[in-house]
Amino acid sequence: MSFITSMLGHLNYGTIFVLMLLESTVIPVPSELVVAPAAYHAAGGNLDMWLVILFSTLGADVGATINYLAGWYLGRPIIYKFANSKWGHLCLLNQEKVEKSERYFEKHGMVATITGRLLPGIRHLISIPAGLSRMNYWKFLLYTTIGAGAWHSILALLGHYMHAFVPEEQLNEKILEYGEYIKFGLIILVIIVCLYFLLKWYIKKKKADNEQVK
């Protein structure tokens, strides 16, 4: 996809928006190599870091909305058919990945829309089960904005931090290296958050059961 490579080499607010829109659908665009380099250039005075976060999050919202609407209107058979097609495979999709995102959404409910935006392999697909389940759109958009905004803020801070000591020719390599540590940390954080909500649900259920016994 030479047009994506071209946009990656010419980052501005417009290309950031478009690339993050694509990343939030089914096009395999690495957000690490968009937001972090943009923030790196912002640290050098070429862009504004807050606008980088804003436009990347707006792009993610639009892309996530496309997936949400696809889930709502197309349904599972067509979604699965596309995931298993040649075009789906070109987008690094398959039915197993879609089903994995569905299981994650069903297990963690609405909070999955926030936490799912932080997880690799789930991030760009979590909007589909939200649409399939007919989740309220405005809640979906709010949670998507929170999750995407948090992820892009982390990447922007990484890029801004690297400007002080990483030469530009080594930037992408270092972003991917540090990105692995960040992903691992976020997975741990998401597990903790999910355990918290699970414990909260269990305590509430236990309390309700005890009141019924009385």
Q: Give the pLDDT of residue 20.
A: 93
* Per-residue pLDDT tens listing for the chain (214 residues): 567 777 777 889 999 999 999 988 888 788 888 999 999 999 988 899 999 999 999 999 999 999 999 988 888 888 888 888 887 777 667 788 888 787 777 776 667 777 777 777 777 788 888 888 888 899 899 989 998 998 899 899 989 989 988 888 888 888 888 877 777 776 677 677 767 767 876 787 777 767 666 5
Give the C-alpha separation, 74 to 136, whole Å. 17
Reference 99, options 123, 131, 129; nearest CA is: 129
Residue spans of the domains in the chain: they are 2-213
Q: Give the pLDDT of residue 28.
A: 75
How many CA atoms lie less than 13 Å away from 39 in the CB half-sphere?
A: 26
Q: Give the pLDDT of residue 56.
A: 95
Give the C-alpha separation, 56 to 148, whole Å. 8
Residue 37, phi then psi, degrees to nearest 5: -60, -35
Give the C-alpha separation, 99 to 88, whole Å. 14
